[in-house]
Amino acid sequence: MITVIANDRLGRKVSVKCDPKDTVGDLKKLIAAQTGTNSSKIILKKWYTTFKDHITLEDYEIHDGMSLEMY
């Protein structure tokens, strides 16, 4: 299990526990469960990379404690 932090830069910071084999879409669903936002409206980025829903976290090299930007 790894912990991923999603920050929307507006004061909301969400810490989510997930598996490295989970897809980005699964991570969005976990974030949506904590924030109350619809998972289809969440966009996750790191710098200029926008993460696609069907690719796993380990393929994107997302590790424990990594912070992502949430739009």
The predicted pLDDT at position 40 comes to 87
pLDDT tens by residue, 16-66: 998 888 898 888 998 998 888 888 888 889 888 888 888 888 888 888 888
The predicted pLDDT at position 58 comes to 84
pTM of the model: 0.84
pLDDT tens by residue, 9-18: 887 889 999 8
For residue 21, what are the contacts with CB-CB under 8 A and spacing of at least 6? 56, 57, 58
The predicted pLDDT at position 19 comes to 87
| Alpha carbons 15 and 12: distance in angstroms, whole number | 10
